[in-house]
Structure 1
Amino acid sequence: MKREHNIVRKQHKTRYMPGLDGLRAVAVIAVIIYHLNPQILSGGFLGVDTFFVISGFLITSLLLHEYRETGRIDLKNFWIRRFKRLIPAVVFLLMVLVSYMAIFHLERLAAIKTDFIAALVYFANWWFIIEDVSYFEALEANPLKHLWSLAIEEQFYIIWPIVLLLLLVLVKRMGRIWLITFGISIVSLIIMIVLSAPFEDNSRVYFGTDTRAHSLLIGVLFAYIFPPFRLKKEIGAGSKAVLNLIGFVTLGILIYLFTFVSSSHYWIYVGGLYGIAVLTSLLIAASVHPSTFFANRLLGNPLFVFIGKRSYSLYLWHYPIIVLSNTYFVAGQVPIYVIIIQIILTFVMAEVSYRFIEQPFRRNGFKAFGFADVVNRVRLIVVGVLGIVMVLFLTGVLDDPIDNVLEDREQQRAYEEMEFTSSIKTIDQSIVNEESVRTLEPLFIGDSITVDIEDEVLYRMPYATVDGEIGRQLWDVEALIQANYANYTEPEDIVVLQLGTNGVIAVDDMQAVIDLFEEATIYVINTRSPRDWQADVNSMLNEITENNENVHLIDWFSVSEGHPEYFSNDGVHLTPLGKQVIVQEIVDVMNEVSVE
């Protein structure tokens, strides 16, 4: 797309852009906060999209600059630079992670072996799709799940330079190249729209290279029309004001999105992410221009630049540190001092990686691991020991010890649960045998939490009907009711609905389910779940309760506040004590309603 612009001129050398590092800092901070607690910054996952747009923009800008200056693109040299920039940090992370888990989490090591290999060859995103892994709902700790985005970027770095070179050689005219690239981005968007669905787990479209390519390509498109290495250093006051205004407005909108968007919001999958990528490209314009206050003083401040330069390392290290340390606590109820330690450890390990692995390798390659000085020798010894552990892991030498530990842990867990279960059956028999409780015939419909409490419910209310299913969503319930429970329509009929663990629920859809029971007495149990949709689900249930006289709230969220002992490590499912407490709360609310 050939165009003249009053702020563009030819410049032969690339220049450092501090504002871009500042934008990286904003993105990585958002992602870290999201993974620390998604309820604090529910849209923090969008920081990954910011990285995608930046990558598409910067890589294409560098390739176009090289082509304009030399008439060619040295693919081999480009890939070597990318290798030196990206691979050592990932390999170091994987080596440290395997060694740490071999000592402290041996029972979890076998579960990540295939994930480890997929991460090593930058195939993680497709592997998670093949394995049907959920980005948003998976309850098992997976310290490598965040590497899906790096896999997409690496795939982009391999494929896009070839595509761009072919376009430059065969199509030549920038206008047509822009249109072709735009067309590819629209195809990616269409695939995302077709494969996504409301109120479902959209991890397939979240992980897919095909469905996420449009964010990278938006950055590519912007590099065509706003080449950062050809911008004038000085522009008029009016142009500066416009760029600064664009920067402040777009940054403000992005922070708003980080704060209030949820992964369960369907609109982000049907054009929302595309629009956010366009917004980010405008933010990049204000972030890379050499003459703006926004780029040089705001985003380019020393603290943001420091964090931004280490954003890759911070992204690599934060997630495994959070995931593995959280295994000692209930998800969503991690003490503040632990969160502070997680943040400190993230920055410490990122700095170690950046200063002693990444930068030396970028400057000196494999010579950084020689015998030239003490630092090099220490680095060689440390990496050598870690590498041996990784080889033992990959070749299966650690398999037998892992199997033995798994067997011992399973036996210990079964014994502890049996002992604990027998010790907590201490409910006063006058309550258990209370006529108003034992003669109730309620219908329970719910997801895995209902499965959890079935035995406890039947112990307290032996005539109850309990219909729980792991992973059940609201849209599964309407047909279930019509087929099996259409006769629960009279005031004396009691229905308990426990839904919302697995995703957001629309008010209208919930109301439709309520209406199926007509005049039945209905109880809805709200949720405590370390997911970004928790607040939305509980707000919806409050609204349903207020709008329907025959619907009553069982406030499990409030009852369980400050009681991590009620939950297993995932912060969702219940311990034997938790099962006892929630069923007691159900009985108490039923008794209160019957008195009314």
Structure 2
Amino acid sequence: MPQPQTRPAPRTVRFGGLDGLRAIAVGLVLCYHLFPPLLPGGFLGVDVFFVMSGFLITSLLLREYELGGRIRLGAFWRRRARRLLPALGLVLLVSTALALPVGGDLLVGIGQQIAGAAFFVSNWVFIANGADYFARDTPELFRNMWSLAIEEQFYIVLPLVVLLLVRLRSRPSRAIPLAALGLASAALMFELSRAGVDPTRIYFGSDSHTFGLLLGAAMAAVLHRPEASEVLNPGPLRQLAAAAAALAGLAVLGWLAATLSEGSPASFQWGFQLATAAALLVVWAVTRPGAWIGRALDAPPLRWVGERSYGIYLWHWPLLLICAGALGPDLEWLVAPLALAATVLAAALSYRFVEQPVRRFGLRRSLRMLVRVGDHTPRRRFVAIGLAAVVAVAAPAAVVAIVTAPQQSSAAEAIARGQEALEHSRAAQQADEGRSGRGERSEGASETGKTENPAPGKGSGGGAKEQSAEPAPLSPDGRDLVAVGDSVMLASLPELEAAYPGISIDAAVSRGMGTGAEIVTGLSSQGSLRGVLVVGLGTNGPVQAEDLDTIRASAGTRPVVLVNAHADRDWIPGVNQLLTDYAAAHRGVVVADWTGSVTGVPDALAGDDIHPNPSGGEIYAGSVQRALEELQSPGEGIGFGLPRR
């Protein structure tokens, strides 16, 4: 077997395979946002970017120190600015202007979002505002800027750290501090998840989601060999090893992208960590000098996409929201393909006429080249006129959008309307109790308490099938109903109270079925449950059958109405199927078909397509009413078990 040929590594070697890997990474993100059922774990593409960025930037800094004996911080940050700011500024300007005619929720907090993106602190701005990255119904126009913020924060600190590390002689000693910081960040993500911290806080946090960048940097420190020779034509065994490693890493990434659930404990406790390890393996394999797999990954189509991946990532999310807002639900099928086409076109134009000139000549020289009319070729004149027209139209439109942006989203307004009604009801109840005297009970309470509706094993027996005689099939009024729900029920509260005066409602934002089970158990122990229990939970996470069992046991012989959920979230179909199956298996439990009633009704829901407007609140109350009527059907025939009036 011929011996591999070696010679000193060229000082300006280009890493193979990274453009192709960038194309794969941005493809994962595009599928996740544009076609979510295809790759539910496609958000891992960002972590592949993190590993590549940490590896590449650290390699460049070490090479600069090797060649010149120093790292020029100003020049490094200037290169980063040239690379990132032109495309970012164009996206912020044009997208804000395009969102103006669409209006509505797209413009909520737009000024704050632009400031966060411009100063590379978007991730912390979204954390402070309580944003939910994994909710497709909260339309922050520049939500995707969070990852750019983390990278830029890393780029500010990294060269300072490298300046300290180059004083250490051995490659392992340089890598160990970076690896230790990366492992600490990965461990922090794990611990925060186990502690039940909000998933968006974990995902957006610079402290808990920097391990890909740090571990990529550590690998660069280990592999950088300034004085050693590199194998330029590795033998067949080395080629096979590199190809096998790359394919294995890509297979793991593909499996995770197809199976990992967004925002799940599994994703934070091992999913992101495993994806980062797989990305490290791929980057190591494809960047080996002379590796065939690196050349294969840099095939022309993949390389074309990879070179424009930064612009594709910046443009795709705001254009997706703008297309969705402009087309509306009737043309929803057209949103994703139109957004994809617009994204590729915008990224290609930005790369050719904005990013590359500024990267090559700098911002000031590029501007001078555009404004010097006498030196213009026809093509340059066309570009200058086009860019001037874009700025002339987009700049004032963006200013108007920022100035006229609504203070809160339509969903927040719907929730606030329900909260105001809830506070008014509580104040009226307290005033009524004050007039009645301490310890007295109202007529409604005296007719529907725990005493007349004993729990299983007490009084009249242990379940709906064991009720004594045939109670009169009375239709309950508000004094017979107690409801526990989430923000959807809260937004529907005025209409529920109008349909059922005197109803007792306990509803709050971001409440899940587990919390609801605890509340129902508490109400039961206090004797505060009324004749019929209405439960409207399931929007904010998966539901466990054990929680439904707890609710039913606490309700005793009382009928239970389970309101199903309506939202564009991965767990909703499973939640609704579980509620339907549970009601079918238990007498005295029925489902109020909220999602079936509201789907496709114009103007019934706020901009998030979850929380009801007043007309949607009437639909919500109507679905509860139909469920109560079903309880009196021959199939159920339980007549609510309410006392005769």
Question: Would the TM-score normalized by the shorter structure come out above 0.5?
Answer: yes
Q: For 1:8 and 1:508, how far apart are their aligned partners in 2?
A: 65
After superposition, give the CA deviation of every residue in 1:229-281 in whole Å (9 maximum; x if it has no partner): 97534323333333323322322221222222222311322343223211211
Asked if 1:56 corresponds to 2:54, the answer is yes
Cα 1:509–1:23, aligned 2, differ >3 Å: closer, same or farther?
A: farther
2:90 to 92, 96, 100: 92
> For residues 330 and 106 of structure 1, what CA distance do their matches in structure 2 show?
12
1:518/1:199 Cα in 2 relative to 1: closer, same or farther (>3 Å)? farther
Partner of residue 315 from structure 2, selected from 317, 328, 332: 317
Q: Structure 2: which amino acid aligns with 1:441?
A: D
C-alpha distance in 1, partners of 2:611/2:108?
24
Q: Go from structure 1 to structure 2 and tell me whether the alpha carbon gap of 1:546 and 1:310 turns closer, same or farther (over 3 Å shift).
A: farther
Distance 1:107 1:264 in 2: 24
* Per-residue deviation, 1:21: 1.5
Q: Quick check: 1:330–1:564 contact (8 Å CA) kept in 2?
A: no
Q: Which has the larger radius of gyration?
A: 2
Determine which of 508, 512, 516 is the counterpart of 1:469: 508
What secondary structure does 1:145 align onto? coil
Alignment of 1:116-195 (within 5 A): 116-137=114-135, 139-169=137-167, 171-195=168-192
Q: CA deviation at 1:99?
A: 3.3
1:452 and 2:491 matched:
yes
Question: 1:273-306: CA deviations, max 9, x gaps?
Answer: 2232112111222333455554333x33322221
Alignment of 1:27-426 (within 5 A): 27-102=25-100, 105=103, 109=107, 111-137=109-135, 139-169=137-167, 171-196=168-193, 201-227=198-224, 232-289=231-288, 291-292=290-291, 294-297=293-296, 299-328=297-326, 335-365=332-362, 366-369=364-367, 370=369, 371=372, 372-373=375-376, 374-384=378-388, 398=400, 402-403=403-404
What's the counterpart of residue 423 of structure 1?
A: none
Work out whether residues 124 and 151 of structure 1, in 8 Å CA contact, stay in contact via their aligned partners in 2.
yes
The alpha-carbon distance between structure 1 residues 227 and 552, as it changes in their structure 2 partners (threshold 3 A), is: farther
For 1:101 and 1:118, how far apart are their aligned partners in 2? 18
Query: Shift of residue 326 of structure 1?
Result: 2.0
| Counterpart contact for 2:174–2:222, Cα < 8 Å | no
Match of 1:529 among 557, 563, 567: 567
1:13 match: secondary structure: coil
Q: Tell me the TM-score normalised to structure 2 length.
A: 0.77
**Counterpart residue identity of residue 525, structure 1:** V
Q: Distance in 1 between the 2:202 and 2:357 partners?
A: 37
1:460 is displaced (CA, Å) by 4.0
Task: Report % sequence identity.
Answer: 29
Instruction: In structure 1, give the amino acid aligned to 2:66.
Output: R
The alpha-carbon deviation at position 493 of structure 1 amounts to: 4.1
Answer yes or no: is the 8 Å Cα contact 2:95–2:319 preserved in 1. Answer: no
Comparing 117-126 with 7-16, greater Cα deviation is found at: 7-16
Q: Evaluate the alpha carbon distance shift between residue 182 and residue 542 of structure 1 in structure 2; reply closer, same or farther with a 3 A threshold.
A: farther
Higher mean alpha-carbon deviation, 122-131 vs 463-472, is at 463-472
Q: Is the 8 A contact 1:92 1:383 kept in 2?
A: no
User: Measured at CA, do residues 123 and 458 of structure 1 come closer, stay the same or move farther in structure 2, by a change above 3 Å?
Assistant: closer
Q: Is the 8 A contact 1:147 1:316 kept in 2?
A: yes
TM-superposed CA distance for 1:543, in Å, is: 6.3
**Distance in structure 1 (CA, Å) of the matches to 2:327 and 2:238:** 52
Q: Find the counterpart in structure 1 of residue 611 from structure 2.
A: 573
Q: Distance in 1 between matches of 2:390 and 2:225?
A: 41
Q: Find the counterpart in structure 1 of residue 452 from structure 2.
A: none
AA aligned to 1:571 is: D
Q: Which moved more, 1:550-559 or 1:517-526?
A: 550-559
Quote the offset at 1:324 in angstroms.
2.0
Q: Is residue 246–residue 283 contact of structure 1 (8 Å, CA) maintained in 2?
A: yes
User: What SS does the aligned partner of 2:207 have?
Assistant: helix
Q: Deviations over 1:59-110 (max 9, x none)?
A: 1122223333443333333222212111111111122234334555499657
Question: In structure 2, what is the equivalent of residue 517 of structure 1?
Answer: 555
Deviations 1:340-395 (A, max 9, x none): 1111111111111111100111122232232232444454455456556777689x
Write the distance in 1 (CA, Å) between the matches of 2:558 and 2:255. Answer: 42
Instruction: Give 5+ residue unaligned stretches, structure 2.
Output: 418-472, 636-645
Deviation at 1:510, TM superposition (A): 4.9
Distance 2:274 2:545 in 1: 27
AA partner of residue 503 (structure 1): G
* 1:466 aligned counterpart, secondary structure: strand
CA distance in 2 between counterparts of 1:294 and 1:393 reads 48
Q: Displacement of 1:307 after TM fit? A: 1.2
- Counterparts of 2:224 and 2:109, CA distance in 1: 45
The aligned amino acid for 2:509 is I
The amino acid across from 1:276 in the alignment is A
Could you tell me how far apart the structure 2 residues matched to 1:214 and 1:439 are?
A: 54
C-alpha distance 8-486 of structure 1, shift in aligned 2 (>3 A): farther
> Structure 1 counterpart of 2:319, which letter?
I
Check if 1:497 corresponds to 2:497.
no
CA contact (8 A) 1:110 1:402 kept: no
Higher RCO (CA < 8 A, seq sep 6+) = 1
Structure 1 pair 538/69, CA: closer, same or farther in 2 (3 Å)? farther
Whole-Å Cα distance in 1 between the matches of residues 594 and 16 of structure 2?
A: 48
Name 2:523's counterpart in structure 1.
Answer: 484
SS at match of 2:480: coil
CA distance in 2, matches of 1:36, 1:342: 8
Q: Is the contact made by 1:137 and 1:502 (CA closer than 8 Å) also made in structure 2?
A: no
The separation in 2 between residues aligned to 1:321 and 1:145, in whole angstroms, is: 12
Contact 1:529-1:571 at 8 Å conserved across structures: yes
Whether the aligned pair in 2 keeps the contact of 1:437 and 1:587 (CA below 8 Å) is no
Amino acid at match of 1:527: A
CA shift, 1:438, in A, is: 5.0
Change (3 A) 1:368 1:326: same
3-state secondary structure, aligned to 1:187: helix
One-letter identity of the residue aligned with 1:232: V
C-alpha contact (below 8 Å) 1:39/1:531 kept by paired residues: no
Cα deviation 1:553-581 (Å, max 9, x = unaligned): 44544555555664333121234454444
For the aligned residues, what is the CA RMSD?
Answer: 3.7
Cα distance per residue 1:417-442 (max 9 Å; x no partner):
9xxxxxxxxxxxxxxxx963658933
Q: Secondary structure at the match of 1:211?
A: coil
Q: Which secondary structure does the structure 1 equivalent of 2:198 belong to?
A: coil
Q: 2:231 is paired with a residue of what secondary structure?
A: coil
122-131 vs 154-163, which moves further: 122-131
1:7 to 1:195, Cα distance in 2 relative to 1, 3 A: farther
Give 1:586's aligned residue. 624
**Take 1:488 and 1:329, find their aligned partners in 2: how far apart are those partners?**
51
Task: Point out where structure 1 has 5 or more consecutive residues left out of the alignment.
Answer: 1-5, 418-433
Give the structure 1 partner of residue 482 of structure 2. 443
Whole-angstrom CA distance in 1 between matches of 2:38 and 2:598: 19
Q: Structure 1 residues 64, 532: closer, same or farther in 2, change over 3 A?
A: farther
Deviation at 1:177, TM superposition (A): 2.1
